[in-house]
Amino acid sequence: MSVSLNQSLLNFAQFAGVGGEHGGHPGADRSSGEHPDQPVDADDQDGGGDDQGGHGHHHRAHVATLVRSVLALPPVGWRNESLLLRLLHWKPKAMAVVGVLAVLVLAGASATVGVLASPASTRDAPGRQAASIGYLVERTKFLNDESHRFLGNLLPLNAAEQRVSRRLMAWKEREYNVPEADFLPAHSFFLVREKIERSAVYRFIRRMPKGAVLHVHDLSAANADYVVQNVTYREHVWGLLGDGKGNGAVQLRFAPAAPGPGWELVADLRRRAASVQDFDAMLSKVCTITDMNPDETYPDQATVWHAFDGAFSVLFSLLTYAPVFRDYFRRTLEEFYEDNVMYVEIRGVLPPLFDLDGKEYGQMEVAAMYKQVADEFRREHPDFLGVRLIYAPSRHVSVGEVHEYLEFFRKLKTQYPDFVAGFDLVAHEDDGRPLIDFVPSLLQLRRDLPDVKYFFHAGETNWEQSLTDENLVDAVLLNTTRIGHGYAIDKHPKVMEIVKERGIGIELNPISNQVLKLVQDLRNHPGAALLADNYPVVISSDDPGMWGARGLSYDFYEAFMGMTGLKADLRTLKQLTINSIRYSAMGEAERSHALSVLERRWQDFIEDVDNERFPEQDLPVVRQLRGLAGDSAEHDNSIHSVTSWEA
């Protein structure tokens, strides 16, 4: 490698603000690799300022070390085009690193490197080479500026978080580097759930504190296994099973005696079944919409929503038996708690409940049951931060019925001012009545209760300029606190502007939107654009029991892998957990306390992961650098420097 190329490399490093033998932090011996094991600062992680947290000199030292490592490598070591391309993308927003590699390729080395430059480029005039380098510098700066807008990219990470983030990114890169047919977020959750469970990224997310879940429905929140293996094994469960294979009008309910002709005790039906396992699988099928051939079974949204409503009807009949209702809600809290969720805002329809002796429970009594179970659970789990209820009846009703809902909500909020968070209207938006129909009643409630919080489902549709997607407009005009789904928000730029200005939380539910046929490949989810521009988004799971999920981790995985891109790292996950508390219905003092608790739990998690042994083979770039550079002793020090920078 020529002296002029060496000097170009060092000059560029100095120009980019990272020092070299003639620049950088005073007092550090650049040639000695004095800081090979110091953590990379936030800017090396694609975000943050050069001096963020007082570690800017570490950034300069590491890049200067990398420069010398590159200079020390023999030209033959750079013959692998894919490695260089991966290095160019490994830290694409650390301008100095990309610039160093660009100079290596373009400033006279192309004849021996043989990677990006064509043979003809070796005969280009120096001015043309300089123009190419200038373009790459400008491109890198462009990407750097853009990356600072991504959700979480300005969060500072401490040294342990940086190490854990690099570990996470090694796993993420490995799961990205698969044939497109094997990329999990591109396929129906029904088909890839078990593969997700084997993912290192998913296992990491499952262990991670996830803050709060802010969008989940009460009668479809717990896993269906609990319904089948616990609820249907209880006494007094009756079934009307159609043809006995899950086809026809399958119904299940609790009753002291047969509800009518054809009903039999489920215990007797199970006993007579040729296979108990197959019988229970049939029950699971009618309580969920899971299917291993979803494109054929559910060719369109109308079909899948019909199946959803059928499964919900079965669950409603089973779960409105008062003892089961209490147990199911407790099981819901247990599943979220086991998934490292510390706070829940649950949307409840407050269904009428009954006991076998004929006693019935009204909506206010049902709300009291919610609160009783939530209070008991919190007493038994002191590190759980609590539950709030969003009263969320169906939108498939008349204007008069919504007026009655709101009159009841006034009483409910008066009775439980801290427990009840606010009001929503739910069910399939395309088939339900739009918010505009109910605006007079909603405005009147706002006048009477100025502090009322709305959490409207809005924009859960593929349509544009319809009454359904215009629910987004009405939601913001009604001063909603959060928006459920907001799938069509990218079709309403004014709504997007207001959402960002006011900090209106957008509750993204990736798996729900996929299985209910709004989007197939989650890389195409409009939430990806919201994440890329730091909108106030949170991740939730909607109706996890309906599709064989539990908790929140599956949706976090799908969002992190499918909607954030390759370069989004630990900062994105951390910001999402912070957002879940920030955009909750907590009061200011409670929110501040919750963020403190979350930070402690987060740092405990980081410490646990950081202290675990991490095999070097999980660092793909470092592994290939070692292989390409060879094992000769004369290059050991330079390769060690690069390894320390990445590992």
Active site residues: 460, 485
DSSP secondary structure of 48-117: S-TTGGG-HHHHHHHHHHHHHHHHHS-GGGG--HHHHHHHHHHSTT-HHHHHHHHHHHHSS-HHHH-SSS
Secondary structure of residue 149 in the 3-state scheme: coil
Which pair of structure tokens corresponds to residue 369?
Answer: 């049951």
Report which DSSP code applies to 387.
E
β-bridge mates for residue 538, sequence order: 507
* Beta strands across the sheet bearing 482-485: 455-458, 482-485, 505-508, 537-539
Q: Going edge to edge, which strands form the sheet with 237-241?
A: 250-254, 237-241, 264-265
Cα 380-385-386 angle, rounded to 5 deg: 80
Q: Quote the radius of gyration of the chain (alpha carbons, Å).
A: 29
CB 550 within 8 A of CB 386: no
Question: Any residues with CB less than 8 A from the CB of 456 and at least 6 apart, and which?
Answer: 424, 425, 435, 471, 474, 475, 478, 480, 483, 484
**Residue found by looking up tokens 């000769």 in the block:** 632
β-strand pairing of 537-539 with 353-354: unpaired
For residues 79-104, one letter each, b for 16 or more C-beta atoms within 10 angstroms of the residue's C-beta and e for the rest, the string is eeeebbeebbebbbbbbbbbbbbbbb
614 contacts 167 by C-beta, under 8 angstroms:
yes
Amino acid identity of 529?
A: A
Q: What is the spatial distance between Cα 184 and Cα 523, in angstroms, rounded to a whole number?
A: 10
Collapsed DSSP state (helix, strand, coil) of residue 214: strand
* Cα–Cα distance for residue pair 59/57, rounded to 1 Å: 5
